[in-house]
């Protein structure tokens, strides 16, 4: 079989399917394998899969297992709510882990090499089509690759998605700046590297947590771009970064000079897609469900996709080793799109909640302050075992409207607990 795309999702799927005894060829457009960015968060629904793959110990050695996740108000710096991540690990059986994106990518790449995945570089796929025996991927060079199944793990701008829907990426008008700070810097002395912290502010937020065993402080600054809202092409520039955080507390503002100012990430998603399979061509990862980052599930969904497909391949394999691809793809299609639809829509809603101002901000803060640290009602649907069938998908939480908050007496009001970008 063929997988197109050598990112986290493509590598994860390649390893998952190879361990089921399949021969996998992975096509990557870049001349070498690598990953850009900084930190990434892996909730228990992902570390559970890494453990099943035999990769969790290595991931833990490369990352940090934090003690707590804390949400603060970006304007006054005050704490709003927290999750006890050590207790969370007891509840779900697996840790919450933060790791450098390139370290996770390298871990999966090494696993694929050990497993015998055929890795092909300089192979940019521009077209997909079904064949009598399976499917074909055509390269920009004119070459082709054929197999019984082709998985398109080729990201936000997937060439395969057009086989299923005529849509375009949706701009949120938000942009992210990233940066890492060595632990020896005075800036890091004011941060607890055992915490994942998000400061939520009007039309902006700021995240920090430790990486590489506490050697680095990872920072992410996200804000709404006025130029993007005005329809201008040059948006998300460093001057907009500084202006967006002008109202925030000293700790947040003091972190801005450490951001990489020569590169920024504009934040796009797409409308949920409920059909991912076209004959023997299947979408996986961001090609199917690119999310906004607010509940930190983008890479996790991609890893889950590969694990679920691998499990259904195992269940659809005959004694002679042949796979009933129709059955495996039908089972994959039956469970993954609905889960990922929930993540996409919840990510959008959570982003709106983070970026409130005025009365709505005060109501949100009151809700969050009233939340019990050990209330998991708002994350049980997300952090539990990855569903293999639709009936295993847990129920969603019940939203609490901000209008229900009486600012004169907000004590005891339940609220959502969430994750940070």
Whether residue 40 lies inside any domain: the answer is yes
| Number of compact structural domains in the chain | 1
With pLDDT > 70 as the criterion, what percentage of the chain qualifies?
Answer: 97
Whether residue 388 lies inside any domain: the answer is yes
Whether residue 321 lies inside any domain: the answer is yes
Average pLDDT, the chain: 94
pLDDT tens-digit map of 232-244: 999 999 999 999 9
Partners of 118 in the β-ladder = 25
| Residue 409 pLDDT class (50, 70, 90 cuts) | low
pLDDT tens-digit map of 24-50: 999 999 999 887 778 999 999 999 999
Structure tokens of 338?
């609905």
> Residue 153 and residue 6: Cα distance in Å, rounded?
8
Whether residue 181 lies inside any domain: the answer is no
> Which range marks the domain in which residue 67 is found?
2-168+270-402
pLDDT tens-digit map of 246-283: 999 999 999 999 999 999 999 999 999 999 999 999 99
pLDDT tens-digit map of 311-360: 999 999 999 989 999 999 999 999 999 999 999 999 999 999 999 999 99
CATH code at 355?
3.50.50.60
Residue 58 in contact with residue 152, Cβ under 8 Å? no
Return the beta strands (E) in 118-215 as ranges: 118-120, 125-130, 135-139, 144-147, 150-152, 170-182, 195-201, 204-211
> Residue 62 and residue 107: Cα distance in Å, rounded?
9
Structure tokens of 186?
């005075």
Whether residue 179 lies inside any domain: the answer is no
Whether residue 26 lies inside any domain: the answer is yes
Q: Which of 92, 209, 332, 383 is catalytic?
A: 209
Q: Check whether 367 has a pLDDT greater than 50.
A: yes
Structure tokens of 292?
């906004």
For range 386-415, the mean pLDDT: 80
Whether residue 92 lies inside any domain: the answer is yes
Q: What is the model's pTM? A: 0.95
pLDDT tens-digit map of 133-158: 999 999 999 999 999 999 999 999 99
Residue 407: its pLDDT value, please? 85
Whether residue 183 lies inside any domain: the answer is no
For range 172-192, the mean pLDDT: 93
209 in active site: yes
Name the nearest CA neighbour of 125 among 32, 35, 26.
26
CA 53 to chain centre: 19
């Amino acid at each position: 079989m063929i997988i197109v795309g050598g990112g986290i999702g493509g590598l994860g799927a390649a390893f998952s399917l190879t361990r089921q005894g399949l021969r996998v060829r992975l096509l990557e457009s870049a001349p070498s394998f690598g990953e850009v960015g900084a930190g990434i968060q892996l909730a228990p629904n992902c570390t559970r899969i890494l453990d099943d793959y035999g990769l969790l110990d290595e991931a833990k050695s490369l990352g940090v297992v934090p003690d707590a996740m804390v949400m603060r108000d970006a304007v006054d710096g005050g704490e709003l709510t927290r999750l006890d991540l050590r207790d969370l690990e007891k509840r779900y059986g697996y840790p919450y882990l933060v790791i450098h994106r390139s370290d996770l990518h390298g871990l999966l790449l090494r696993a694929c090499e050990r497993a015998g995945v055929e890795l092909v570089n300089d192979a940019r796929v521009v077209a997909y089509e079904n064949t009598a025996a399976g499917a074909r991927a055509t390269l920009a060079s004119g070459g082709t690759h054929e197999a019984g199944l082709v998985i398109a793990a080729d990201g936000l701008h997937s060439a395969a998605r057009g086989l299923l829907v005529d849509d375009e990426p949706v701009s949120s008008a938000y942009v992210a700046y990233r940066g890492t700070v060595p632990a020896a810097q005075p800036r890091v002395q004011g941060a607890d590297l055992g915490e994942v912290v998000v400061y939520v502010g009007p039309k902006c937020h700021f995240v920090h947590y430790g990486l590489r065993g506490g050697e680095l402080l990872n920072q992410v600054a996200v804000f709404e771009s006025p130029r993007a809202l005005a329809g201008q092409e040059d948006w998300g520039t460093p001057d907009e970064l500084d202006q967006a955080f002008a109202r925030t507390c000293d700790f947040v503002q003091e972190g801005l000079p450490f951001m990489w100012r020569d590169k920024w990430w504009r934040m796009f998603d797409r409308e949920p897609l409920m059909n991912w399979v076209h004959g023997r061509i299947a979408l996986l990862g961001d090609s199917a469900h690119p999310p906004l980052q607010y509940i930190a599930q983008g890479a996790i969904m991609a890893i889950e996709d590969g694990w679920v497909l691998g499990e259904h391949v195992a269940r659809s394999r005959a004694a002679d080793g042949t796979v009933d691809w129709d059955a495996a793809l039908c089972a994959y299609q039956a469970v993954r799109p609905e889960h990922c639809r929930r993540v996409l829509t919840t990510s959008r809603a959570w982003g709106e909640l983070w970026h409130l101002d005025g009365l709505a901000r005060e109501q949100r803060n009151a809700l969050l302050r009233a939340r019990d640290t050990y209330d998991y009602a708002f994350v049980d649907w997300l952090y539990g075992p990855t569903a293999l069938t639709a009936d295993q998908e847990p129920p969603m939480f019940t939203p609490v409207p901000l209008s229900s908050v009486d600012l004169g007496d907000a004590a005891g009001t339940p609220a959502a607990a969430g994750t940070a970008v």
